Structure 1
């Protein structure tokens, strides 16, 4: 974590509104990608992002160590996203509709991205969440364990099973393609 971010967090804890705005600007994509990875829906991810920042700012003074801010914020984003999944039924929507609206560039890359999004959507929320935190955010196993409040062994197990399922969904097993 950069010193500038640490300074912003300290300023925000003292109630400086400009620091809060800068934190949102610096971490908005991080929180959104985390929420989207869990929810697999852009509108829900935007709502979860907003809710996660509100919850984070309300409890910022409870953050024990500023250096753990990204992990702490990811934990809030995951919890908000999981709460949203539990509280409302997801509306039926073709994953390719949302992805195709956002995809630009080479057709091969777009097709691969659609395949990955569809495969992620097929994972259960526990497996999808650990994959998002590890693959998209680069969190270490112990950080994922902290975010999800589960043992490191459970993180390893979920990642293993999620990767196996993704390989199967993407036709990565030998003889499938």
Structure 2
């Protein structure tokens, strides 16, 4: 846990330096920041839009805002937290424009992962299925905590909600996820997920 926090702090420090360079107009710093955040943003945007065709467009919208607003970053949170908040807002706006208020139904993320054994793929499939069963609020809280290593305060900032609401979403999301993964053949996946990835 301590090692993970140390790594996250080092990454954030590097992100802050690149964001400061971006605020100063450095295209090189902006390009490096883009490269470092790309995969986290693509996954996050896809989970919100469920549409591979709009991921790159939303990503471009996000990075345009980052370029334009880099000098407004106050430093109260990690850079990734700030950027994911922008991504959530851009994805929401995009969905409103394209689909109105239609509810988005989750589906599996297409992924080619060479080198993964069958057991690991089964665990990932079970986890993907279970995440798809959660409400959007609970799913986002789980993803931000477990896949992006964010604290409840950072989750609250990304989701624009009070910290206690973020804690509640994380608690109930984790409980529901554990229940879903513990049913039938998914029991091993539940134990595997919660033992190895506790924030």
TM-score normalised by the chain length of structure 1? 0.81
Task: Give the structure 2 partner of residue 63 of structure 1.
Answer: 73
Unaligned runs of 5+ in 1: none
What stretches of structure 1 move > 6 A for 4+ residues in a row? 90-93
Unaligned runs of 5+ in 2: 1-8, 188-199
SS in 1 for 2:74: coil
1:160 paired to 2:143: no
For 1:91 and 1:31, how far apart are their aligned partners in 2?
18
Offset at residue 71 of structure 1 (A): 1.6
SS in 2 for 1:102: coil
Q: Report the CA distance shift for 1:94/1:5 in structure 2 as closer, same or farther (over 3 A).
A: closer
Superimposed CA distance per residue, residues 120-160 of structure 1 (whole angstroms, 9 cap, x where no aligned partner): 12222111111111110010011111121211110111112
1:151 paired to 2:151: no
For 1:154 and 1:130, how far apart are their aligned partners in 2?
10
SS in 1 for 2:81: helix
What is the aligned residue count?
172
The structure 2 residue matched to 1:5, chosen from 15, 19, 29, is: 15
TM-score normalised by the chain length of structure 2? 0.73
For 1:126 and 1:91, how far apart are their aligned partners in 2?
13
Task: Give the structure 2 partner of residue 53 of structure 1.
Answer: 63
SS in 1 for 2:78: helix
Task: Decide whether the 8 Å contact of 1:134 with 1:140 is kept in 2.
Answer: yes
Within 5 Å, give how 1:1-177 maps onto structure 2.
1-2=9-10, 3-65=13-75, 68-87=78-97, 88=99, 89=102, 95=108, 98-99=109-110, 101-104=111-114, 105-170=116-181, 172=182
RMSD over aligned Cα atoms: 2.8
Task: Decide whether the 8 Å contact of 2:50 with 2:105 is kept in 1.
Answer: no
Superimposed CA distance per residue, residues 46-83 of structure 1 (whole angstroms, 9 cap, x where no aligned partner): 43323211222121122122863222112112222333
